[in-house]
């Protein structure tokens, strides 16, 4: 079996490896057909990914086909096309017991802490597979990416009509925008790249965009919101300067949600934070129900994944 292994920063090797082990009663054997290349993979290749060790088989945005299932598996059958929920959780820690397996205290993310999908086939717990008879393998590979945005928006409890700012219009920012729009928010996209902002307007129907290079961000936000500022701000940059600056963009009584992360400390002015009684949230990964929601929305035609795929290898 062939696998692509990131042996060290900057070095990918195509190697032959042993075939996958036999499935246990609760596992499935899958063949990998599609793999999304994520910012996480780029950071790992560059040696800048937190919580990462080498060597590692990358790949956690996957469209797979079920080849074989264990005796106790009931949610999938051979031949099913599936998205993969790549978060391997213990099911017993306090987070898991409280319905938050996405931040399990012993979490292993495939392609990051455990080997991922850049191989021909592998076994995994069958409960991590989300099938659809309608979605293509391309669409399946995008479900996990969209899940990051879906979970972040769910954390913020967006209300219809409120102004929501998304900082960073890369893939994770776009996923966040997708579900903020779905929640009925008035979305503002902020970036330094005009091409990305044009994509937000033309492909995602974002009414308001702000280019931080050419415009005063605070003045433009005040103009858009009638002087109120956004009541929910998502930072999807993973950039320390952006994340710490984002505190200034949140309305009194609003929420700041960090979707991206970086290796370092976040600091902020406490009197300013308290004066506005801000709520600070982090968002990590996604929940099983996010995968179910996203597959249903794509099947119903409410999410168009076509513009997301720009390159193939």
Averaged over 17-43, what is the pLDDT?
Answer: 94
Q: What is the pLDDT of residue 39?
A: 85
Confidence band for 18, pLDDT divided at 50, 70 and 90: confident
Confidence band for 95, pLDDT divided at 50, 70 and 90: very high
Q: What are the chain's domains?
A: 2-131 (3.90.180.10), 148-282 (3.40.50.720)
CA gyration radius, the chain: 20
Q: What is the pLDDT of residue 135?
A: 97
pLDDT averaged over every residue in the chain: 96
Q: Between 310 and 116, where is the model more confident? A: 116
pLDDT at 199 over 80: yes
Q: Between 262 and 26, where is the model more confident? A: 26
Confidence (pTM): 0.94
pLDDT in tens, 128-156: 999 999 999 999 999 999 999 999 999 99
Averaged over 44-59, what is the pLDDT?
Answer: 89
Averaged over 91-102, what is the pLDDT?
Answer: 98
Q: What is the pLDDT of residue 249?
A: 98
CA–CA separation, 233 vs 246, rounded Å? 7
pLDDT in tens, 104-121: 999 999 999 999 999 999
Q: What is the pLDDT of residue 50?
A: 75
CA nearest to 165, candidates 224, 227, 233, 258: 233
What is the number of other CB atoms lying within 10 angstroms of the CB of residue 92? 11
pLDDT at 51 over 80: no
Averaged over 56-63, what is the pLDDT?
Answer: 97
Confidence band for 204, pLDDT divided at 50, 70 and 90: very high
Q: What is the pLDDT of residue 48?
A: 83
Q: H/E/C letters for each residue in the chain?
A: CEEEEEEECCEEEEEECCCCCCCCCCEEEEEEEEEECCHHHHHHHHCCCCCCCCCECCCCEEEEEEEEECCCCCCCCCCCEEEECCEECCCCCHHHHCCCHHHCCCCEEECCCECCCCECEEEEEHHHEEECCCCCHHHHHHHHHHHHHHHHHHHHCCCCCCEEEEECCCHHHHHHHHHHHHCCCEEEEEECCHHHHHHHHHHHCCCEEEECCCCCHHHHHHHHHCCCCCCEEEECCCCHHHHHHHHHHCCCCCEEEECCCCCCCCCCCHHHHHHCCCEEEECCCCCHHHHHHHHHHHHCCCCCCHHHCCCCC
- Read off the tokens for 51: 């919580």
pLDDT at 258 over 80: yes
Averaged over 278-294, what is the pLDDT?
Answer: 98
pLDDT in tens, 216-234: 999 999 999 999 999 999 9
Q: What is the pLDDT of residue 38?
A: 87
Q: What is the pLDDT of residue 17?
A: 83
Averaged over 159-174, what is the pLDDT?
Answer: 96
Q: What is the pLDDT of residue 227?
A: 96
Averaged over 40-53, what is the pLDDT?
Answer: 87
């Amino acid at each position: 079996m062939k696998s692509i292994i990131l042996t060290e920063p900057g070095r990918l090797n195509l190697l032959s490896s042993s075939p996958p082990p036999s499935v246990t009663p609760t596992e499935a054997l899958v063949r990998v057909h599609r793999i999304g290349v994520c910012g996480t993979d780029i950071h790992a290749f560059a040696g800048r990914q937190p919580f990462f060790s080498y060597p590692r088989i990358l790949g956690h945005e996957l469209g797979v086909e079920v080849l074989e299932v264990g005796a106790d598996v009931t949610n999938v059958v051979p031949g099913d096309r599936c998205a993969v929920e790549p978060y391997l959780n213990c099911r017993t820690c306090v987070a898991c017991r409280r319905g938050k397996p996405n931040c399990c205290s012993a979490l292993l993310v495939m392609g990051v802490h455990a080997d991922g999908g850049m191989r021909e086939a592998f076994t995994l717990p069958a409960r991590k597979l989300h099938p659809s008879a309608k979605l293509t393998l391309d669409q399946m590979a995008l479900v996990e990416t969209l899940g990051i945005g879906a979970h972040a928006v769910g954390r913020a409890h967006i209300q219809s009509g409120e102004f929501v700012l998304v900082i960073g219009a890369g893939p994770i920012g776009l996923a966040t925008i997708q579900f903020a729009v779905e929640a009925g928010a008035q979305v503002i996209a902020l970036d330094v790249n005009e091409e990305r902002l044009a994509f937000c307007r033309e492909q995602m129907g974002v009414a308001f965009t702000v280019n931080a290079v050419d415009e005063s961000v605070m003045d433009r936000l005040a103009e858009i919101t009638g002087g109120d500022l956004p009541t929910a701000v998502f930072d999807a940059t993973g950039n320390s300067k952006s994340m710490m600056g984002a505190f200034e963009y949140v309305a009194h009584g609003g929420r700041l949600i960090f979707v991206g992360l970086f290796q370092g400390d976040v600091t902020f002015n406490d009197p300013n934070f308290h004066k506005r009684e801000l709520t600070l949230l982090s968002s990590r990964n996604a929940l099983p129900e996010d995968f179910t929601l996203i597959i249903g929305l794509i099947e119903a035609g409410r999410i168009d994944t076509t513009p997301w795929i720009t390159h193939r290898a």
